[in-house]
Amino acid sequence: MTKYSIAVDIGASNGRLIFGYLDGGLLKLNEIHRFENQIVKKGDSYCWEADKLFQEIKNGLKKCNELGITPDSIGIDTWAVDFVLLDENNKLLTEAVSYRDPRTDGMMEKVFEKIKKECLYLETGIQFQKFNTIYQLYSIKQQSPKIFDRAKSFLMIPDYFNYQLTGKKANEYTNATSTQLVNAFTKKWDHDLLNMLGINKEMFHEIKTPKTILGTLKEELVSEIGFDLQVILPATHDTGSAVIAIPEENETIYISSGTWSLIGVENYFPICVTKALDYNFTNEGGIDYQYRFLKNIMGLWMIQEVKRSYNDEYSFVELVELAREAKDFKAVVNVNDDRFLKPENMVEEIMNYCVETGQPIPTTPGEIAKCVYDSLTVSYQNAVKEIEEIFEKRFQKINVIGGGCQNEMLNQLIADVTNKEVFAGPVEATAIGNIVAQLVALNEIQDIKEARSIVKKSFEVKKYVPTAPITS
């Protein structure tokens, strides 16, 4: 009998419930429910609306019932690093504060006073970003010690939703590694690091891997929704799920392109060498204990904010066309500069950067968009060079996955600048990776190797070649 799975995929701007199943050896997807997600100001903090998001998950499940669909399982993935803390009565002690909140300003340096930067990297293999969970937790310890002392349970965002569904607490592996508190070699919470920072290790839960069947719905939810189903852990880190869907897995660099751009390769062991530290690469956990050796790049967040700064006057498609028309404009910004993390006005921030660095100043929407796309491409090019230097080999292909792979102009720019073949697709990589992990747990698919073969047959992938000939 065919098994049906639902991927709940929540990103920085929206969430979806996508229904997936195998039909004739191909993976079929149908969107059941879509909803908005945004950061809101609560008190002095920028937060996610966790309760609203969970209600949307329930709304999507109720739609299944209305459509006469009875899924066998559900899996939830979201962005990384963010979390909630619960007290001894399992009540929220904290809001789901966003990684874009400034509470972590200066916290990285305070942590380095307790733990040497090099030691932290050698233990965890995780790149240094000021919003990593470790610095968020340390900011609570410094700024709200009473709340910190009352915390009995640490749950990342998808862990919290899973707890609300099942009543069971667990920390999923791929997302847990993004905290910079998991030992890269033991794959467990690093109690030595926690002790050095004075963080209570008892609030962390057992780390469980993707494909774990966590449990079934709580009785009250079965009554509310109208059916029961199994809650299965996918790679709850959305990039972890997206990478599972890479069809060109051999000798390829991948770019998971969305609000963030994650560029890297899959590897069977962590690379915690000095050069990887210097280049600020990360070793995040992946499916089947593989490692995602990658670098975070600001990504299409910048163009999303450009669109917002122009009061949504232009669509993303129109911004691409305007960028094409501004083909002679040349200026590049450092997309990973913290000033672009959450500026008041992205357009003004880009213009100011160009003024300060003595470059031509973009003044039209097309020039601003062209600057963003060129800047992203340059950052990809630099990351590719660093990956090839660390691995001492040349990769032949780049596979762009996720929503950003629909940007044909950007795909061609990547091919031209890196002088590599670029394969774009699948678009719904995160939902696909989420669903196939569930189907493996349900014994519908044998393993991830077979899953990737199915993905390759099931979804369109476009190829882009450099306009200049490739030379060896």
- Lookup result for tokens 């592996």: 173
User: Hey, what amino acid is at 89?
Assistant: N
- Look up residue 336 and give its DSSP letter: T
Q: Is the peptide bond before 426 cis (omega within 30 degrees of 0)?
A: yes
Quick check: helix, strand or coil at residue 122?
A: helix
- DSSP code per residue over 30-68: EEEEEEE--EEEETTEEEE-HHHHHHHHHHHHHHHHHTT
Whole-number pLDDT of residue 469: 61
- Lookup result for tokens 């990684």: 99
Q: Cite the beta strand spans of 203-251 per DSSP E.
A: 207-208, 213-216, 230-232
Query: What's the CA gap between 68 and 285, in Å, rounded?
Result: 37
Angle at the Cα of 237 (from 235 to 460), degrees rounded to 5?
75
Query: What's the CA gap between 383 and 151, in Å, rounded?
Result: 39
Query: What's the CA gap between 273 and 280, in Å, rounded?
Result: 11
Query: What's the CA gap between 98 and 53, in Å, rounded?
Result: 14
Query: What's the CA gap between 98 and 114, in Å, rounded?
Result: 25
Check if 5-232 and 246-425 are the same fold: yes
Q: What are phi and psi of 9, to 5 degrees?
A: -120, 110
Closest to 305 measured CA to CA, from 335, 343, 351: 343
Q: What are phi and psi of 160, to 5 degrees?
A: -65, -45
Query: What's the CA gap between 284 and 291, in Å, rounded?
Result: 6
Domain ranges of the chain: 5-232, 246-425
Reply yes or no on domain 5-232 having CATH 3.30.420.40: yes
Residues annotated as catalytic (active site), given as ranges:
238
Q: What is the pLDDT along the chain (472 residues), one digit of tens a residue?
A: 899 999 999 998 899 999 999 999 999 999 999 999 999 999 999 999 999 999 999 999 999 989 999 999 999 999 999 999 999 999 999 999 999 999 999 999 999 999 999 999 999 999 999 999 999 999 999 999 999 999 999 999 999 999 999 999 999 999 999 999 999 999 999 999 999 999 999 999 999 999 999 999 999 999 999 999 999 999 999 999 999 999 866 689 999 999 899 999 999 999 999 999 999 999 999 999 999 999 999 999 999 999 999 999 999 999 999 999 999 999 999 999 999 998 999 999 999 999 999 999 999 999 999 999 999 999 999 999 999 999 999 999 999 999 999 999 999 999 999 999 999 999 999 999 999 999 999 999 999 999 999 999 999 999 999 996 655 4
Whole-number pLDDT of residue 471: 54
Query: What's the CA gap between 233 and 78, in Å, rounded?
Result: 12
Whole-number pLDDT of residue 467: 92
Token representation of residue 364: 């039209």
- Say which CATH topology domain 246-425 has: Nucleotidyltransferase; domain 5 (3.30.420)
Query: What's the CA gap between 411 and 404, in Å, rounded?
Result: 9
Give this prediction's pTM: 0.93
Burial 390-419 (b: 16+ CB within 10 A, else e): beeeeeeebbbbbbbbbbeebbbbbbbebb
- Lookup result for tokens 């929540």: 10
